[in-house]
Amino acid sequence: MANNLSSLPYCLSSAQTPFRSSSQLVGDANKHHIPFKTPPNFQPSPFNREFIQSLGNKFSIETLQERAIKLEEKIRVQMNRTDMKSLHLLELIDDIERLGLSFKFEEEINKTLLKIVSIKNFENQTEKSLHETALLFGILRRHGFYVSQDIFMSFKDEEGKFKAEISNDVEGMLSLYEASYLSLEGESVWEANAFSRTHLMNLMKEGLMDAKMAKKIRHVLEGLPYHRSCFRLMTEQYINRYDKMEPHNLLLLELAKLNFNMEQSSYQSELKELSRWWRDIDLSSNLKFARDRLVELYIWSLAIFPEPHLAICHKELTKVGQLLTVLDDVYDIYGTLDELELFTNAIERWNVDSINTLPDYMVLCFLAIYNTVNGMAYDIFKERGIKCLPYLTKSWSDLCKACLQEAKWFYNKIIPPFNEFLQNARISITGGVVLTHSYFLVCKDITEQGLHSLTNHHDLLSSSSTIVRLTDDLGTSMDEIERGETSNSIISYMHETSLSEENAREYFKTLIDKEWKNLNKYLVTDAVFPKSFVHVAINFARSGHYIYQYGDGFGRQNNILKSQIESLLVHPFQLMCHDDFEKRKFYV
């Protein structure tokens, strides 16, 4: 395999394209020499401008909001009941989160969890079931409360291993499996992952459960663990599953459907505004080689900023994402090495005079980035007095240098050592640009320590970017190997170790697990960054799993991701008639 990988195709290098007058710029942007690399077979996005303009639903937002407020108050009454058992309260919180409603009940959830952790020695209460204990562990850690893994001591034997007799507790094992993904480096609770997975699979094979439970287990084991998934993007699926559960809380279900429809309407409006921005820039028609992925990148922005009130963040990050996609295609497909050197220098200088050295298609790309980023910096300074432009431009400069390095490796037919490649790839995956822009968009208090950590690729950013890079390469490696790529961590690892692709993939999964344990640390400990930004960095890691879980969901769109996007943007839930809802009894 190593010999095959080193036999890379020769790349054509040509002189820099002759420059054109400004009047010829648009028309000549696509008249270029042979692309730097063999172009991938990227398909046009099914979500074009016509799709965006067709979006719209029939619901009155004002009417939905009135109904939602009434339902919220009734659910708050339930949460504040003094006679509700702790397990039922934890299950209610878990359902609220999975149904996409946690932002509506942040105060009540936090109050409840504070009450739980204030109970003296709550970790030593042995009367709790495995299901309740694991649910408590996962919820507390997700919400930033440190809880010791000793909470599971009563379910372990004298040797510290999980007792064999708990393996028949299906519900408990499911919760234990999900809780294991909240473990930190060095914690033995991670052993619960393999333990619970193995026994749950055995129980399914032996047919020791009903069809509904078997389906639930299969969904959990074959999909992403909840902690690593983009919660809000998966809300529609959970609403449908919750609707089929018996019994279920009718109030909660109806509120979830109302909220989903309201958010869908907001998404549609935001996308139409972004579509006008993208039409005005007009890069997609002038740079034919570049991918147009506006809708997909908008969904990606929702993965990173799931809160519905962060509309500005959704729109600004979508703009950044679309420009990053064009930039990626410039470096990865179209530009010659000489041209990429010039473009990298232009971005580093951040001066419009630099366009005089660039070929026409790069002038369009440079000015689109330059104007958009400067506009964002202007708005942030105007509204909050924060001078962020030097930090934003440095992140773009660092990215271009990393992408140039990958282009040099390809041009010179070099497969770098794995660690050297990964160090560069953490930057080329765009994490620095994404998280630097996100920091200034979401953080209210900007500190010198935070800025220093941001520009020096803090451990939090490094782990998040590494996960996105590894999930990306796991999803796209087959296509890239076929094209003779060297800019892939799996290729570097296989070349260095002479191991098979299958072994490399298994090793990468262990690396991803390790980086996740490091990210989990920042949920429950203090960091130089505010919690709002910690969650953004973690959400960036989650977005990698979401996009590349079933292959290259971004470059070569698969039907699974396409269906998920359509569900999120196109299909609202059917709501109950108000009179019918008032007549029905609901489960508490």
Each residue of 360-382: pLDDT tens digit? 999 999 999 999 999 999 999 99
Q: State how far the Cα of 304 lies from the Cα of 42, in Å rounded to an integer.
A: 24
Q: State how far the Cα of 553 lies from the Cα of 67, in Å rounded to an integer.
A: 37
Numbers of helices and strands, H then E, in the chain: 27, 0
Q: State how far the Cα of 139 lies from the Cα of 111, in Å rounded to an integer.
A: 13
Residue with tokens 């939905």: 64
- Does the pLDDT of residue 292 top 80, yes or no? yes
Q: State how far the Cα of 98 lies from the Cα of 193, in Å rounded to an integer.
A: 21
What is the tens place of the pLDDT at every residue in 51-97?
A: 999 998 777 888 899 999 999 999 999 998 888 888 999 999 999 99
For 216-310, strand residue ranges (E) read none
Q: Which pLDDT value is given to residue 36? A: 53
Residue 559: band (very low, low, confident or very high) from pLDDT cuts 50, 70, 90: confident
Beta carbons of 113 and 86 less than 8 angstroms apart = no
- Measuring CA to CA, how many Å separate 149 from each of 73, 124, 177, 389, 538? 35, 11, 14, 43, 22
What is the tens place of the pLDDT at every residue in 26-53?
A: 444 444 455 555 556 677 888 999 999 9
If you average pLDDT over residues 294-319, what whole number do you get? 96
Q: What amino acid is encoded at 349 in this protein?
A: R
Q: What amino acid is encoded at 15 in this protein?
A: A
The three state secondary structure string of 27-81 is HHCCCCCCCCCCCCCCCCCCCCHHHHHHCCCCCCHHHHHHHHHHHHHHHHHHHCC
Residue 578: band (very low, low, confident or very high) from pLDDT cuts 50, 70, 90: low
The tokens describing 313, both together, are 């963040």
Region for 245 from its dihedrals, namely left if φ exceeds 0, alpha if ψ lies in -120 to 50, beta otherwise: beta
What's the chain's average pLDDT? 88
CA 102 to chain CA centroid, nearest Å: 18
If you average pLDDT over residues 255-259, what whole number do you get? 97
Q: Which pLDDT value is given to residue 39? A: 56
Measured from the Cβ of residue 558, the count of other Cβ atoms closer than 10 Å reads 15
> 74-78, 432-436, 557-561: lowest mean pLDDT where?
557-561
Q: Which pLDDT value is given to residue 19? A: 34
Q: State how far the Cα of 217 lies from the Cα of 171, in Å rounded to an integer.
A: 9
Instruction: Tell me the pTM.
Output: 0.91
If you average pLDDT over residues 431-445, what whole number do you get? 96
If you average pLDDT over residues 328-349, what whole number do you get? 96
Beta carbons of 130 and 169 less than 8 angstroms apart = yes
Task: State the greatest distance between any 2 C-alpha atoms of the chain, in Å, as a whole number.
Answer: 80
Q: What amino acid is encoded at 112 in this protein?
A: T
Q: Which pLDDT value is given to residue 15? A: 31
Q: State how far the Cα of 98 lies from the Cα of 108, in Å rounded to an integer.
A: 16
Domains of the chain: 83-256 (1.50.10.130), 282-557 (1.10.600.10)
Q: Which pLDDT value is given to residue 579? A: 56
- Does the pLDDT of residue 296 top 60, yes or no? yes
Q: What amino acid is encoded at 403 in this protein?
A: C
If you average pLDDT over residues 422-444, what whole number do you get? 97
Beta carbons of 570 and 268 less than 8 angstroms apart = no
What is the tens place of the pLDDT at every residue in 155-180?
A: 999 999 999 999 999 999 999 999 99
The three state secondary structure string of 438-501 is HHHHHCCCCCHHHHHHHHCCCHHHHHHHHHHHHHHHHHHHHHHHHCCCCCCHHHHHHHHHCCCH
- Does the pLDDT of residue 181 top 80, yes or no? yes
Q: Which pLDDT value is given to residue 546? A: 93
What is the tens place of the pLDDT at every residue in 499-543?
A: 999 999 999 999 999 999 999 999 999 889 999 999 999 999 999
Q: What amino acid is encoded at 344 in this protein?
A: T
Q: Which pLDDT value is given to residue 561? A: 86
- In the chain, what percentage of residues exceed pLDDT 70? 87
